[in-house]
Amino acid sequence: MHADTYIPRRLDDPWKIGFWDIDVAAPVLFGLFMGYMSGSKLAFAVCALAGAFTARAIVRIKADKHPAFAMHWLYWHLPTSPLTVMRATPPSHLRRMVG
């Protein structure tokens, strides 16, 4: 019995804005927003460049790592609060491996 089974490859892709992942696009969008809110062209340019350089640094850090590297890094380095708590995983201060 031979059946052609289609296996989807892109079911769990990270969110994207255009061609960028959301964690790379967020600093650029935040820089553009802050520059717009500042009200001057120079501040807009500075904030946009700072966002672009931050996004470039994130891309270099994420290179050759797990696709959810940014989420994992945030989990281990941000304090636990109602916004960042995950119910299915232990708190990040428990670092003892079992097994």
Q: Using one digit for the tens of pLDDT, what is the confidence trace for 39-65?
A: 999 999 999 999 999 999 988 988 888
Residues 90-99: contacts with CB under 8 Å, at least 24 apart: none
Model confidence pTM above 0.75: no
Q: How far apart are CA 51 and CA 84, in angstroms?
A: 23
**Tell me: the pLDDT tens digits for 68-98?**
888 888 777 777 677 656 666 666 676 666 6
Mean pLDDT calculated for residue range 16-33? 88
- In the chain the first and final C-alpha atoms are separated, in Å, by 41
φ, ψ for residue 20 (rounded to 5)? Answer: -95, 150
The burial of 93, by beta-carbon neighbours within 10 Å (0-12 exposed, 13-18 middle, 19 or more buried), is given as exposed
Would you kindly state where each structural domain of the chain is located, as residue ranges? Answer: 16-77
